[in-house]
C-alpha cells in the first residue's frame, strides 16, 4: 500500500455513521455495549461546525477557545475511525451506493479517492 493510500479514509461527510460502527466494534471487543467515544467526538465536532457557519462574536470566541480541542478530536477520528481498515471496509457498500458528489471540490475529492482505493482493494480480493 502506498503512503497516499494509507491516508485515504472514509469521507468526512460519513463521519457520524463511521463513528457509530467504530464504537460498536470497540464495544464488542471491550464487552461494553455503551462505548461511544467516537460518536461523542463526532457529535461535538458537528455542533461546533454548525456554530462556525456565520458565527456571532460570542460564538467566534467560543470557537477560538475550543480550537485546539476540536483539532485534536478531528485528528483522533481521522486516525482511529476514518482511516481504520475495518471501518473503511464496513462503510464501502453504503458509501458506494449512497455517496453523492456535492460540487464542493474538497468533499468530492474525498469521496472519489475513497471509492477509487476501495474499488482497487475489492478487485484484488475477488
- The string of DSSP letters for 22-69 reads HHHHHHHHHT-TT--HHHHHHHHHHHHHHHTSS--HHHHHHHHHHHHH
pTM above 0.95, yes or no: no
User: Tens digit of pLDDT for each residue in 78-122?
Assistant: 999 999 999 999 999 999 988 888 888 888 999 999 999 998 887
User: Tens digit of pLDDT for each residue in 22-60?
Assistant: 999 999 999 999 999 999 999 999 999 999 999 999 999
The grid coordinates listed for 101 are 458528489
pLDDT at 4 over 50: no
Amino acid at each position: 500500500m502506498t503512503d497516499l493510500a494509507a491516508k485515504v479514509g472514509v469521507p468526512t461527510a460519513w463521519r457520524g455513521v463511521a463513528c457509530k460502527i467504530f464504537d460498536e466494534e470497540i464495544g464488542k471487543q471491550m464487552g461494553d455495549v455503551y462505548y461511544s467515544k467516537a460518536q461523542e467526538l463526532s457529535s461535538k465536532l458537528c455542533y461546533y461546525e454548525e456554530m462556525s457557519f456565520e458565527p456571532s462574536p460570542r460564538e467566534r470566541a467560543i470557537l477560538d477557545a475550543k480550537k485546539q480541542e476540536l483539532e485534536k478530536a478531528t485528528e483522533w477520528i481521522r486516525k482511529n475511525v476514518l482511516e481504520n481498515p475495518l471501518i473503511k471496509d464496513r462503510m464501502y457498500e453504503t458509501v458506494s451506493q449512497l455517496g453523492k458528489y456535492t460540487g464542493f471540490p474538497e468533499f468530492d475529492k474525498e469521496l472519489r479517492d475513497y471509492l477509487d482505493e476501495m474499488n482497487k482493494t475489492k478487485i484484488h480480493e475477488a
